[in-house]
Chains A and B, each alone.
Chain A
Amino acid sequence: DIQMTQSPTTLSASVGDRVTITCRASQSISYWLAWYQQKPGKAPKLLIYKASTLESGVPSRFSGSGSGTEYTLTISSLQPDDFATYYCQQYYSYSKTFGQGTKVEIK
């Protein structure tokens, strides 16, 4: 299976901060990467697919980039609603895998 490693595991930030989360794949996944946001007790929500395509209805402060094995999710100006856990997921291989998650906490 392709291993996905996110960093950091936890991130403390303030409202208005620029936040970057990194996801590294154990082999090239050729842009086949999605990002999700999950809040406690709720199902994950799709934010970005194909590494950089914003899902409809997702605020433009979220953006994704990367290629090959390294990808990033950036929140340009953190809002109160953005405190949550974020997961990357590769769909290059039939056996899909998630990163371990990054929890964005209030500083």
Chain B
Amino acid sequence: QVQLVQSGAEVKKPGASVRVSCKASGFTLSSYGISWVRQAPGQGLEWMGWISASANNTYYAEDLQDRVTMTTDTSTSTAYMELRGLRSGDTAVYYCARDGVAVAGYFDYWGQGTLVTVSS
């Protein structure tokens, strides 16, 4: 069955970077894209960006594009999201989600979420 399993919770200081992983199983990662979505405590869903696993094409949300990098490793079926220059407003649960191979798509499977806490 399709599964996306994310890395564990992180606590970071302001200004630091965080990298979250998302290991895919039950499907061929290179045939899909992966989007990252975050949710601040008690808030709604915010799309962060998309990566095509086959071509490493990316498209980032405009307000994050200077701080975020998404990559994939098809040999291990793992996607990664790195966010730099962390600030308190980046405290959130970060989700990876299976997306289409083209940038415009919806999310049919989700990871379990990774809580990133930014605190001094």
| A residues 87-103 touching B (CB-CB < 8 Å) | 87, 89, 91-101
Whether B104 and A89, one on each chain, are in contact in the complex, defined by CB atoms closer than 8 angstroms, is no
Taking residues whose C-beta sits less than 8 angstroms from the other chain, chain A's interface range is 20 to 34
Residue of B45, B108, B109 near A87 (CB, 8 A) is: B45
Secondary structure at chain A's binding surface: helix, strand, loop or mixed? loop
Contacts of A1 in B (CB 8 A): 62
Number of interface residues of B (CB under 8 A): 23
Secondary structure at chain B's binding surface: helix, strand, loop or mixed? loop
B105 within 8 A of A: yes
Whether A43 and B110, one on each chain, are in contact in the complex, defined by CB atoms closer than 8 angstroms, is yes
Whether A43 and B104, one on each chain, are in contact in the complex, defined by CB atoms closer than 8 angstroms, is no
User: Which residue of the partner chain A has the closest CB to B111?
Assistant: A43
Contacts of A46 in B (CB 8 A): 106-109
Task: Give a binary string over B53-64; 1 marks a CB under 8 Å from any A CB, 0 the rest.
Answer: 000000101100
Residue of A43, A55, A93 near B112 (CB, 8 A) is: A43
Contacts of A49 in B (CB 8 A): 106, 108
Contacts of B27 in A (CB 8 A): none
Whether A32 and B44, one on each chain, are in contact in the complex, defined by CB atoms closer than 8 angstroms, is no
Residue of A43, A45, A94 near B59 (CB, 8 A) is: A94
Whether B107 and A44, one on each chain, are in contact in the complex, defined by CB atoms closer than 8 angstroms, is yes
Contacts of B61 in A (CB 8 A): 95
Whether B44 and A100, one on each chain, are in contact in the complex, defined by CB atoms closer than 8 angstroms, is yes
Whether A97 and B106, one on each chain, are in contact in the complex, defined by CB atoms closer than 8 angstroms, is no
Most buried by A among B59, B104, B113: B104
Whether A44 and B110, one on each chain, are in contact in the complex, defined by CB atoms closer than 8 angstroms, is yes
- Chain A contacts to B: CB under 8 angstroms: 1, 32, 34, 36, 38, 43-46, 49, 55, 87, 89, 91-101
